[in-house]
Chains A and B, each alone.
Chain A
Amino acid sequence: MQAETLSGGFADTARDAARAFRAVLDAMARPGSIHEMAGAAPPAPLSPAAGAVALTLCDPETPVWLAPSLATPEVEGWLRFHTGAPLGPREAAQFAFGSWEELAPLTDFPIGTAEFPDRSATLVVGLPGLAPAGARLTGPGIREAAALSLPEAEAFARNAALYPLGLDFIFTAGSRLAALPRTTRVEG
């Protein structure tokens, strides 16, 4: 077992996870807002922010899909050791980690059912950078309009059209994070 498999978790589990969750909650409640996610040091190429999301939300109850670029023995071992999450196929994933290109097509992730729209996947998308510019966001959580550097607009418009079903997105770049719930209307 690699030494880095065991290291890189939260130093103060309960308090670090609490702070990380508030960042994710705030990001999801205010689409377009960008937050700092500190505390995790996962093996590359998993970003510190994506690692912190995994430590905060994943556990043995949440099947995780890892994109091929992330499915290295180091990352898989780190996730298994720190979260205990089972790695599985896209169709069963509650969380999926990868780049935007690898996560496409989005159609085979669970989007929930009419009676249980919450039984849908959350995609944790690794991006090269995050900036409050680009696509125009409107909807719940946004005072008038917000802007976020999204990889494209069309896929999110298609996702929003499924409402109340659909996927929810967390975007990570380095130690920074933003989110996009299914309610947000995205215009390119």
Chain B
Amino acid sequence: MTDMSQDYNFAYLDEQTKRMIRRALLKAVAIPGYQVPFASREMPMPYGWGTGGVQVTAACLTPEDRLKVIDQGADDTTNAVSIRKFFERTADVAVTEATSEASIIQTRHRIPEQALSEEQILVYQVPIPEPLRFLEPRESETRKMHALEEYGLMHVKLYEDIAKNGHIATAFAYPVKVEGRYVMDPSPIPKFDNPKMDDCPALQLFGAGREQRIYAVPPFTKVVSLDFEDHPFEAGRAAHDCALCGAGDSYLDEVIIDDEGGRMFVCSDTDHCRTRREAGHTGALGVPEAFA
């Protein structure tokens, strides 16, 4: 096969498209939480597979970067592997699975367990960027609501949650307010991850390909999960330890392991779990790393 870098422009997109995305990114950073419209392109993968995140990553990537891609916290799932390979082929960029070694991390639905640093950019894949969309289907109306800072409907929705369930039942894509102004959808991350967005040293960029929106949270920016004084926000997690590494503070996936209803809980962040096991931590169902 011929050298791919001869066949595609660096990072796949043409330069004019990158300039358009880059201009949108700069305005997104300047107006934290506001959704900047952009002319999203067809990508060589279907909508819903992270075309927005891929376009943002392509516009930010330099040859010196080291890229990590995760899907629900895992480096080894189809979506993560194919996006990582896409940029290895089209940008000839170095890749890694270690959170601390990556300069750009593209993510679907998780924030890594390990704290991010000032040298890192986190790129989120976003399906529905508009937090008010399920409450008000008309774009013309939601745009007006953001302009007027009219977010009462969102509080009514959270209140109805409490009235029906006794608590706020939203467990993922839990709405946040950015720097006291725009209500923003944090993408479908579990609400467990919401506190990590607040005052984060890394730059956080969000790309929604199908919905053609880009937004951002600059480093050290106030991100507050919406709540009520008598029903404060709680970042929940399953009340278990990771079965492989024994972590009691990480976000867990529930895995069915037999036909009798047996199940195990394991870290959703595969890099975090592996790092812990390599450091000698072993959970209830885990095997010490030396024998694995």
> Which among A18, A22, A117, A168 has the highest number of chain B CB atoms within 10 Å?
A18
Give min CB distance, A36 to chain B, whole Å: 13
Contact among A15, A94, A181 for B10, CB-based, below 8 A: A15
Q: Interface code B192-208, partner A: CB below 8 Å = 1, 0 otherwise?
A: 00000000010100000
Chain B minimum-CB-distance residue to A168:
B30
Number of interface residues of A (CB under 8 A): 38
Give min CB distance, B221 to chain A, whole Å: 4
Q: Check: A24 CB closer than 8 A to any chain B CB.
A: yes
| Interface stretch of the complex, out of A127-135, A136-144, A148-156 | A136-144
Q: Check: B147 CB closer than 8 A to any chain A CB.
A: yes
How many angstroms from the CA of A29 to the CA of B63 in the assembled complex? 21
Q: Is the CB of B19 within 8 A of A28?
A: no
Give min CB distance, A144 to chain B, whole Å: 8
How many angstroms from the CA of A30 to the CA of B201 in the assembled complex? 10
Q: Interface code B179-221, partner A: CB below 8 Å = 1, 0 otherwise?
A: 1011000000000000000000101000000000000101111
Given contact pairs A18-B62, A25-B60, A142-B220, A118 touches B34 in the complex (Cβ within 8 A): yes
Main secondary structure of the interface of B (DSSP, over half): mixed
A120 partner residues in chain B, CB cutoff 8 A: 27
Q: Is the CB of B27 within 8 A of A141?
A: no
Q: Check: A47 CB closer than 8 A to any chain B CB.
A: no
B63 partner residues in chain A, CB cutoff 8 A: 15, 18-19
**A-B contacts, 29 listed (Cβ < 8 Å):** A14-B10, A15-B63, A17-B18, A18-B11, A18-B60, A18-B63, A21-B60, A24-B22, A25-B25, A28-B29, A28-B30, A29-B29, A29-B203, A29-B218, A29-B219, A57-B22, A58-B19, A61-B20, A114-B147, A118-B27, A118-B37, A122-B26, A140-B219, A142-B220, A143-B201, A143-B219, A168-B27, A168-B30, A182-B30
Query: Beyond A140-B222, A164-B31: 6 further Cβ-contacts under 8 Å?
Result: A14-B11, A25-B22, A114-B148, A118-B24, A164-B181, A164-B182
Residues of B whose CB lies within 8 Å of any CB of A are 9-11, 15-16, 18-20, 22-32, 34, 36-37, 59-64, 118, 143-144, 146-148, 179, 181-182, 201, 203, 216, 218-222
